[in-house]
Amino acid sequence: MSMRTVTVIGKSAALVLILGVGLTACTHTSPFHKASPAQTAATDMQLSIEYLKLGKMAASQDFIERALKEDPRNPDVQMTAGLVYERLNDMPKAERGYANAYRLGKKDPNIQNAYAGFLCRSGKAVAGEKLFNEVASSPLYQTPEVALTNAGVCAQSTGNVIDAERYFRHALAIRPNMPEAMLQLGNMAFDRGDAAQAVDSVKGYLAVNPPTSDILWLGFRAERKLGDATSAAAYARRVQTEFPNSQQALMLRSGVDR
């Protein structure tokens, strides 16, 4: 199975990562051939992922545990187990799943990327950052800017803003319109008190990427800090009209706008 790389940001990224597992059509067998354990495991893994996306955790757990019994040496099955158990906050089993996936698929940089993300989310940022660097350097990994951005987020989580900025800028040197790296640099500018630079980052982002609630929220906060109430209000309106169900829109409606 192939996997698509995604950026790993925060604990909620476990749900995002399910999009990284390449979903194929469910395995079909003819009436004359019984499915192999590997085929059955692949189907059960896919069902586990679908239930995970729906938030039906009991069913997701049931199907991934079936898959683990059917094909425990499949690194994708092990990685999915890590995702499911992390979502269930069963961290020992989550770590076992990710570690097994890494061991079984050690030459697969996509699995390395997923494991590095878990390390960062579970308080092992130094190890996670190191592994992200290895992924970024792998000739087999087609999107090193993703791993570099992930490494930046990992470094930032420990307060290492110098290395974090270096990673984000390196990612942008490879892909100048990398949205997550642009957003992170804008947030860093705002956090260090440079609201003008944050506004420039927002404008640069929106010139080359579709809007997100995160980038519009940054624009709102930065313009307000600069004292431009009109521009701040325009960003706030966009958050509420374009992303009415976002956390940022909820904060605006609740009067929490920090």
Predicted TM-score (pTM) of the model is: 0.80
What pLDDT digit, counting tens, does each position of 59-84 carry?
A: 999 999 999 999 999 999 999 999 99
* CATH numbers and ranges of domains, the chain: 179-258 (1.25.40.10)
Q: Kindly tell me if the per-residue pLDDT of 242 is higher than 70.
A: yes
Cα–Cα distance, 219 to 116 (Å, whole number): 31
Residue 35: predicted pLDDT: 84
Residue 19: the pLDDT is 41
Would you mind telling me the total number of residues written for the chain in this entry?
258
Confidence of residue 230 (pLDDT cuts 50, 70, 90): very high
Angle CA(88)–CA(109)–CA(22) in degrees, nearest 5? 60
φ/ψ (deg, to 5) at 21: -85, 120
Which band of pLDDT confidence, cut at 50, 70 and 90, is reported for residue 191?
Answer: very high
The whole-angstrom separation of Cα 148 and Cα 164 is 9
- pLDDT class of 107 with cuts at 50, 70, 90: confident
pLDDT tens column, 3-36: 444 455 454 443 344 344 444 434 445 555 688 9
Place of tokens 């999009």: 19
